[in-house]
Structure formats: structure tokens, C-alpha cells
Amino acid sequence: MDYSGSTFRSPWPDTHTNFDTFAKWAEARGCRKCPAKPKTIAAWVLDQAPNNGNNILTVIEAIEQIHDYHALSNPTRTAPVRAALDQIIKVEPPRSWPSQDKANFARLPTEIRQIISKRETAREKELRRAQNAAAELKKRYAVADEAASSKEESTKQ
């Protein structure tokens, strides 16, 4: 039974539109779109990487939602799909993490690693900004202290 036909009404905005990206690709290759096989989704991910890398995770989410809506198992959380995503989405662990945490980071799903990396990068950027601001204030206080010391010295003489 094909679950992905026009009778599907998603409770999530844009799910059907995003799913259509995958569905059209699958139909053109004679593959089942819903329930989709993990190897079909993995092949789609690798095929889309060069020209549509930014949209891949939203389409993966739509595939997941459609399968969930029809009470089907989630083919996007399988080893072939995870391996395909890992090939195209390179996410490095945060630099400040110890090596054991970096090893655990590699085991996380790609989407979670992206979120952590994005937030950690923003945190590190803000931390550097705050450190630079503190250094600038320290310089100003040093100049002000030097000026005050010079003034005291000149008034004592």
C-alpha cells in the first residue's frame, strides 16, 4: 500500500511540500516513497548533496513525519541514512571538549551534532568578544591608574 498519495493531510506546515522533493526523486527511479526503504533515502541523500545540501535535513524530517503519521517505522533513523548524512554533513566536535566527549559527540545523530556545534561556535564567539572587551577595559584602567599615579607624583613634588 502506498501511503504517500494525495490523501495525505499533514498536521505540520510544509511537510507535504518537502516530502514531494523526495517523492518525485523516488518515483523517477521506480522506488517506493512511503513506506520508504532506508537504502532509498540514503541514496537520495547522497544524490542531493552536491546541489541541495541545505534542504536535506528538512526533507528528512518530512519523510519522518509522514511515516509517523501513518504509524510506520521511521526509516530515517537507520544506519544507512545516518552514514549517508555523515558523508555529506561534516560537523566537528567543539574544540574545547576533552577527547572522550569528542568520541561521544561522534555517536550523536547528525542533526544534534549540528545544533551543538552551532551553539558552541556562537558561545565561543561571544566568549572571545567578552574577553576582548575585558582586555580593553583593563587597558583603559591601566592608563587611568598611570595618569592618576603621575598626577599624585607631580602634586607631591
CATH number at residue 45: 1.10.150.130
Domain identity same for 36 and 78 = yes
Confidence tier at 1 by pLDDT (50, 70, 90) = low
Confidence tier at 109 by pLDDT (50, 70, 90) = confident
Domain identity same for 62 and 110 = no
Quote the CA–CA distance of 64 and 113 in Å, as a whole number: 18
Judge whether 118 lies within some domain.
yes
Domain identity same for 146 and 103 = yes
The domain in which residue 33 lies consists of 15-88
Q: Is the predicted pLDDT of residue 8 greater than 90, yes or no?
A: no
Write the DSSP assignment of 59-108 as a string of letters: HHHHHHHHHHHTT---GGGSHHHHHHHHHH---PPPTTS-HHHHHHHHTS
Judge whether 19 lies within some domain.
yes
DSSP tag of 54: G
Domain identity same for 29 and 73 = yes
The rounded mean pLDDT for the chain is: 84
Confidence tier at 134 by pLDDT (50, 70, 90) = very high
Give the residue from 55, 88, 121 where a domain finishes: 88
Judge whether 23 lies within some domain.
yes
Judge whether 1 lies within some domain.
no
Judge whether 104 lies within some domain.
yes
The count of domains in the chain is 2
Check residues 83 and 156 and name the one with the higher pLDDT: 83
Domain identity same for 77 and 23 = yes
Domain identity same for 75 and 108 = no
